[in-house]
Structure 1
Amino acid sequence: MHSVLQRGNALFAYALSVLACLTFACFVSTVFLNYRTQADMKTVTVVVKNVPDYSASREKNDLGFLTFDLHTDLTHLFNWNVKQLFLYLTAEYETASNKLNQVVLWDKIILRGENAVLDFKNANTKYYFWDDGNGLKNNKNITLTLSWNIIPNAGFLPNIFSHGSHSFKFPTDYTNSRM
């Protein structure tokens, strides 16, 4: 005859097996969904300054300032396996010293149940747009891209890029360095 402890252990092991199967079914039911959507962006104002970087060598580096418009609807991305979205806006560009530069300019977390329609007009960047040299002045190919991570209840953490990006250029002259 089995003891109470052995029966409890068997019941607990069975319950964990059922929960693991349900978690896997949750993952499989949403892993093949298309989480990409259209995002419309444009820059409103673009300024570049040459200022000292006091956090490092105190050399003068380029600092870009921009305001942007962003419109997208992310409500259809939420399903029963999505807890939240981590959105971020990146700028990608090329300089003489680096083939690929990526800078995160803005981010936002949207929880399930919150408004997932983004309609920003003249929004400021959340983070500084520093270049590690003088690669922003007269740079003609800066590309803004909206990306997001889906934080699921079960499964892996996908990195998804939106359909649509926006390219712009920085001015050929520095703006007054006083801040």
Structure 2
Amino acid sequence: MHSVFSRINNVSALLSSCMMALLAAIALSTLAFNADPKGDLAIASIKVYPGTARRYARTKQDLAFVDFNITADLTPLFNWNTKQLFLYLEAEYINTQGVKNDVVIWDRIVRRKEDASINVAGKNKYNFREHSASFKNVPPANYSLKYNVMPYVGYLTYGEIAKTAEPVAFPPSQPRV
């Protein structure tokens, strides 16, 4: 009555449905997981220098160099379903035209719980430039340390670990020597 192929099809459909139900249950179980990582962020100094927009362009733009200190304990974010963490430092400011900018200036990927204790004194990894050519008259920026938990199965979760207590002002542009 039923061919071998239709029976194989029925069995594989049942196994696929069971697998999807199991993965959905795993994904929903991670929603109940609540972690509260602790950290501290301090901006040591900001220096602004004139520069060019691109390698061969003649457009002048200010470049900001941010020195920061980060200490964070990310071990509460690791559980059986955590594949890796994406940790990043973000600068948030409003330029002179009133446009809100969120700029990632540093990041790190943490893959193991043993590496989840972060203590970094560094400077921005990526170019931090203002597209309106100058940081002059730009209001102070807020800096925050944020994370993204990437699970094996389930939803990506985002959060904030630390934030500067007060906005940090951009100093006047210094000539390069």
Offset, 1:133? 2.4
* 2: CA distance, partners of 1:140 / 1:107: 24
Letter of the 2:7 partner, please give it: R
Contact 1:138 1:169 in 2 (8 A): no
Contact 1:89 1:106 in 2 (8 A): yes
Matched, 1:66 2:66: yes
Contact 1:45 1:67 in 2 (8 A): yes
* 1: CA distance, partners of 2:43 / 2:28: 39
Offset, 1:12? 1.4
1:97-135 alpha-carbon deviations (Å, 9 max, x no partner): 1331121101111114451111112x1211011111244
* 1: CA distance, partners of 2:152 / 2:17: 18
Contact 2:38 2:74 in 1 (8 A): no
Instruction: With the length of structure 2 as denominator, give the TM-score of the two structures.
Output: 0.86
For 1:158, the equivalent position in structure 2 comes to 157
* 1: CA distance, partners of 2:3 / 2:133: 75
Matched, 1:124 2:102: no
Matched, 1:149 2:148: yes
The unaligned stretches of length 5 or more in structure 2 are none
Contact 2:48 2:62 in 1 (8 A): yes
The unaligned stretches of length 5 or more in structure 1 are none
Letter of the 2:41 partner, please give it: M
Offset, 1:74? 0.8
Structure 1 residues 149 and 56 mapped into 2: Cα distance closer, same or farther (>3 Å)?
farther
Structure 1 residues 20 and 71 mapped into 2: Cα distance closer, same or farther (>3 Å)?
same
Structure 1 residues 101 and 7 mapped into 2: Cα distance closer, same or farther (>3 Å)?
same
Matched, 1:79 2:72: no
For 1:18, the equivalent position in structure 2 comes to 18
Structure 1 residues 82-121: aligned runs within 5 Å = 82-121=82-121
* 2: CA distance, partners of 1:53 / 1:144: 23
* 1: CA distance, partners of 2:80 / 2:16: 21
Question: SS of the counterpart of 2:32?
Answer: coil
Instruction: With the length of structure 1 as denominator, give the TM-score of the two structures.
Output: 0.85
Cα root mean square deviation, aligned? 2.2
Query: How many residues of Structure 1 are paired with residues of Structure 2 in the alignment?
Result: 175
* 2: CA distance, partners of 1:18 / 1:70: 45
* 2: CA distance, partners of 1:19 / 1:114: 31
Structure 1 residues 138 and 68 mapped into 2: Cα distance closer, same or farther (>3 Å)?
farther
State percent identity of aligned pairs. Answer: 34
The 4+ residue runs of structure 1 with deviation greater than 4 A are none
